[in-house]
Amino acid sequence: MPRRPANSNQTRPTPLGPTAPRRRPGSPVVQADAGLAPVRAFSKVLRQRELAQAARQGGSRPRQRRNPAAEALRSSVAAIRSSDETANPVVAGPATTAAAASPLTSRPASGGPAGRRVRPVAAQVIRTAARANTAAGSLHPLSHPAANAALRAYEERIKGAFDRIVPVLKRLSALQHEPDFVGQAQRLAQAELGYELPLPILETAWTSQLDMRTLYAWCVFEAYEQTSISFFEADPRAAEAGSPDAEAFEAFLLDCGFHLLDVTPCADGRLAHAIAYALRLPFSAVRRRPHAGAMFDVENTVDRWVKTEHRRYREAIPNPAHADTRYLKTVVYHFSSVDPCHEGCAAHGSDDKAAAAQGLQRLQDFQQAVENSFCCGASVDLLLIGMDTDTDAIRVHVPGRDGRTDLTQWLDARDVYEATRQLSPEAGRERIEQLVLQAAAASPDPGMVRLIARLIEHNLSQIDYVRQYHGGHYADAGHAERFIGVGIGFKEIHLRNLTYFAHMDTVEEGAPDLDVGVKIFKGLNVSRGLPIPVVLRFDYHGAVPGARERAIRHCERVQAAIESRYAELCGQGLLHTLLTIRDRDRPVPAETVSSSITFNTGGGH
Q: What is the 3-state secondary structure (H, E, C) of 253-310?
A: HHHCCEEEEEEEEECCHHHCCHHHHHCCCCHHHCEECCEHHHCCCHHHHHHHHHHHHH
DSSP symbol at 406: B
**Separation CA 288–CA 271 (nearest Å):** 11
The DSSP annotation for 44-83 comes to -SSHHHHHHHHHHTT---PPPP-----HHHHHHHHHHHHH
| Closest among 68, 25, 85 to 401, alpha carbons compared | 25
Contact 197, 554 (CB under 8 A): no
In the chain, the N- to C-terminal Cα span, in Å, equals 26
**Separation CA 580–CA 594 (nearest Å):** 7
Report the catalytic residues: 268
Residue 397: phi and psi, rounded to 5, are -85, 95
Q: What angle do CA 296, 436, 333 make, to 5 degrees?
A: 25
**Separation CA 270–CA 45 (nearest Å):** 12
Bridge partners (DSSP) listed for residue 266: 291
**Separation CA 497–CA 124 (nearest Å):** 11
Looking at 57-175, list the stretches that DSSP marks H as alpha helix, in order from N- to C-terminal side. Answer: 71-83, 94-100, 145-163, 165-175
Spatial neighbors of 507 by CB under 8 A, at least 6 apart, are 514, 558, 561, 562, 565
CB under 8 Å, gap of 24 or more: what pairs does 31-37 form? Answer: 31/357, 31/407, 32/108, 32/109, 32/353, 32/356, 32/357, 32/407, 32/408, 33/353, 33/357, 36/353, 36/354, 36/357, 36/358, 37/354, 37/358
156-to-46, 120, 164, 170, 300 alpha-carbon distances in Å = 22, 9, 11, 21, 36
**Separation CA 509–CA 202 (nearest Å):** 39
The DSSP H or E segment spanning 577 is strand 575-583
Q: Dihedral sign for Cα 369, 375, 379, 381, please.
A: positive
Looking at 84-236, list the stretches that DSSP marks H as alpha helix, in order from N- to C-terminal side. Answer: 94-100, 145-163, 165-175, 181-192, 199-203, 212-234
| Closest among 123, 114, 115 to 164, alpha carbons compared | 123
